[in-house]
Amino acid sequence: MRKYSLQTPIKTWQINTAMYSEQGSVQQSLAKVFVEISRKMENTKEEEEEEEDREEEKDEEEKEEEEEEQEEDGEEGEEG
């Protein structure tokens, strides 16, 4: 980058270009951050849904096991 002294005339387009290029890099970095955040949020949503599905499956399996045990207990009671 050039160094300007007080005698060097600086044109307004040079200032504007520098400002816009800096602003663009900030916008790009912000966009990257937002993309990362949105990806993480999607991943956590998917993980939460998977956990809920697992819990539901476990609950169903436990209910089935309890029903089977009750049926077995009922059959033993009838035999006795």
Q: What is the mean predicted confidence (pLDDT) over 18-41?
A: 82
The domain limits of the chain are 41-69
Element (DSSP H or E) covering residue 74: helix 12-79
- 4: helix, strand or coil: coil
Q: Does residue 43 or residue 75 have the better pLDDT?
A: 43
Model confidence pLDDT, tens digit, residues 34-64: 999 988 988 888 899 999 999 999 999 999 9
Question: Burial code of 3-31, b = ≥16 C-beta within 10 A, e = fewer?
Answer: eeeeeeeeeeeeeeeeeeeeeeeeeeeee
Report pTM.
Answer: 0.42
Determine the pLDDT at residue 28. 84
Q: Does residue 80 or residue 27 have the better pLDDT?
A: 27
- φ, ψ of residue 51 to 5 degrees: the values are -65, -45
How sure is the predictor about 13, in pLDDT bands with cuts at 50, 70 and 90? low
30 is written with which tokens?
Answer: 């912000």
Length in residues, the chain: 80
